[in-house]
Amino acid sequence: MATYLITIASITLANKACDILKSNGYACAVEKTPKNYASGCGYSVRLKGNIEYAVSLLESAGITPGSIINTGNSE
Amino acid sequence: MINFDNAATTFPKPETVNAAVSEAMERYGGNPGRSGHRLSVDTAEAVYISRKKVASFFGAEPENVVFTLNCTEALNFAIKGIMNRYGGHIVISDYEHNSVVRPVFSLSKKGVNYSVAHIYPDDNMTVNSFNNAIRPDTRLIVCTAASNVTGQIPPIEKIAELCRRRNICFIVDAAQAAGVIPLKVGNGINFICAPGHKGLYGPSGTGLLISDGKYRLIPLIEGGTGSLSMVFEQPSFMPDSLESGTVNVVGIHALGKGIDFISSKGTENIRKHEEMLCDRFINGISHTEGIRIYRENGGNYAPIVSFNAEGFTPNELASLLSNDGIYLRGGLHCSGMAHTALGTAPNGTIRFAPSVFNNHNQVDELIYSLKKILKKP
């Protein structure tokens, strides 16, 4: 299953995003955005699963994702 | 020791709040929202959990909860944040604490005008007083949800409706109301400012600014937020816009437990218990010669009773009660304007303010001590 990073500028919104995704059955975690994916500070939500639906869940909660990065498949 | 000075800060705190202070010191030692290591991320999650509890309690989104140092700081952020953006005219009530009066007065030195509405025991007269004070350039109304001097409750919902209809920003000072009177943002209430350390039973050094998301405040303090660090401009999104510097993790974590505590007890039950103690106190002293209680017929009151005793200044009486191990606050309660309106300036009143932890035996002990002091020649 593909693993994605959704970058979100604010730690509060990253935690809120993770909360929303977990309550919709996603496995996810908040982490600092890796340096190769961001300039400056920022956090990301790492998740596995349907990225389109995840993004739609966040957008309907008023959270605008930054970049969406496919970090490859995990076992 | 019997503490009836809970309107200043509640003491004791729930055991769960005390335990949370230790827990945070031992477990949440990272800087939230700054680093990527486990300690920082776990600490940020602990802060977020408290933020979510506050948001749910006050009907807000988590990102619209800003942790502050106290209610005064929250009020300064809100009042100046609105007026620095829009300018114009402010209406406040005559029962406001200095945490409202002083920022407004300070703004008046910079060209902002303000008017003062009177709070009557009759709700409709109070709303009319606010309505009459509104001008075409009125941008903001600030009103306490319960006077810290008398406990009187203005008709907040009706004032909110007036603000909504006239498109005026409304800030509610919930310093004495949070935890005993249900309050939510929305329906005309744009901001609620509250202390964490009074009726929410958190530690001192905690306060809350809660927004309904309609107005963006100009920040008073700028700095590190852990976000957009290559940009020199302060982030515009909440809560980062208003939360510069490392937050009070220990206080915030414990405040979350305070919210759990009052949620489990029920705000209405807490208020009923404290009102029962106020009624017992009033019934116990109201027929004593020389006692004056500052409550008016028809008024609606939070569980606070202000009174005076002939022959004693409020501070003298508070000092004599303190000698008996009973703590009440005498004086002006940082509310000179309210005491002027009440006719109790310049000495003020002595204030009885129970918490959920007080009981009727303690009230009886206070009544006994008070009567003993008043009998002395």
Task: Write the pLDDT tens digit of every residue in B73-102.
Answer: 999 999 999 999 999 999 999 999 999 999
Q: Are residues B347 and B255 in the same domain?
A: no
Q: Are residues B313 and B165 in the same domain?
A: no
User: What residue type is B209 in one-letter code?
Assistant: L
Nearest 5°: phi and psi at B191? -140, 140
pLDDT tens readout for residues B27-84: 999 999 999 999 999 999 999 999 999 999 999 999 999 999 999 999 999 999 999 9
Q: Of B175 and A40, which is predicted with more confidence?
A: B175
Q: Are residues B292 and B181 in the same domain?
A: no
Q: Are residues B256 and B278 in the same domain?
A: no
Query: Pick from B229, B264, B299: which residue ends a domain?
Result: B264
Q: Measure A8 CA to nearest chain B CA, in Å.
A: 9
Q: Measure B281 CA to nearest chain A CA, in Å.
A: 45
Structural domain count of chain B? 2
In a domain, B109, yes or no: yes
pLDDT tens readout for residues B299-324: 899 999 999 999 999 999 999 999 99
Residue tagged 């809970």 (tokens): B6
In a domain, B377, yes or no: no
What's the burial of B199, exposed, middle or buried (CB within 10 Å: 0-12/13-18/19+)? Answer: buried
| Interchain CB distance below 8 Å, A12 and B33 | yes
Q: Measure A33 CA to nearest chain B CA, in Å.
A: 8
Q: Are residues B7 and B64 in the same domain?
A: no
SS3 B50: helix
Mean pLDDT of chain A: 90
Please give the pLDDT value at position B230: 87
| Nearest one of B223, B77, B63, B250 to A10, comparing CA atoms | B63
Please give the pLDDT value at position A36: 78
Low-confidence ranges of chain B (pLDDT < 50): none
- Residue A61: its H or E element: none
Q: Are residues B65 and B206 in the same domain?
A: yes
In a domain, B128, yes or no: yes
Can you tell me the distance from the alpha carbon of B361 to that of B83, in angstroms, rounded to the nearest whole number?
48
DSSP state of B282: H
Please give the pLDDT value at position A74: 62
Chain A residue with minimum CA distance to B32: A11
Q: Are residues B50 and B95 in the same domain?
A: yes
Residue B237's alpha-carbon distances to A62, A66, B192, B274, in angstroms, are 12, 14, 18, 39
What's the burial of A23, exposed, middle or buried (CB within 10 Å: 0-12/13-18/19+)? Answer: exposed
Question: pTM value?
Answer: 0.96
* CATH number of the domain enclosing B351: 3.90.1150.10
| Interchain CB distance below 8 Å, B227 and A41 | yes
| Interchain CB distance below 8 Å, B63 and A41 | no
Residue A75 has pLDDT above 70, yes or no: no
Q: Which residues of B touch A17 (CB under 8 A)?
A: none
Please give the pLDDT value at position A39: 62
Q: Which two tokens stand for residue B267?
A: 């705000």
Q: Are residues B298 and B334 in the same domain?
A: yes
Q: Are residues B254 and B271 in the same domain?
A: no
Q: Are residues B29 and B176 in the same domain?
A: yes
In a domain, B256, yes or no: yes
**Predicted ipTM?**
0.91
Q: Are residues B216 and B284 in the same domain?
A: no
| Nearest one of B293, B316, B290, B320 to B306, comparing CA atoms | B293
Please give the pLDDT value at position B229: 87
H helices of chain B, where? 15-27, 38-58, 71-86, 98-108, 123-133, 156-166, 249-265, 267-285, 314-323, 336-342, 360-375
Can you tell me the distance from the alpha carbon of B72 to that of B65, in angstroms, rounded to the nearest whole number?
16
Crossing angle (nearest 10°) for helices A51-60 and A11-23 = 120
- Residue A50: its H or E element: none
Query: Pick from B264, B297, B312: which residue ends a domain?
Result: B264
Show the domains of chain A with their CATH numbers. Answer: 2-73 (3.30.70.120)
Please give the pLDDT value at position A35: 79
Q: Are B151 and B306 in contact (CB under 8 A)?
A: yes
* CATH number of the domain enclosing B31: 3.40.640.10
| Interchain CB distance below 8 Å, B44 and A42 | no
Strands B2-3 and B89-93, by their bridges, are unpaired
Q: Are residues B251 and B307 in the same domain?
A: no
Q: Which two tokens stand for residue A50?
A: 């349907």
Please give the pLDDT value at position A18: 97
- Substitution target in A11, A36, A39, A46 with the highest count of B β-carbons within 10 Å is A11
DSSP state of B120: P
Name the percent of chain B lying above pLDDT 70.
100
Query: Pick from B227, B248, B264: which residue ends a domain?
Result: B264
Q: Which two tokens stand for residue B27?
A: 């477990």
Residue B79: domain span: 15-264
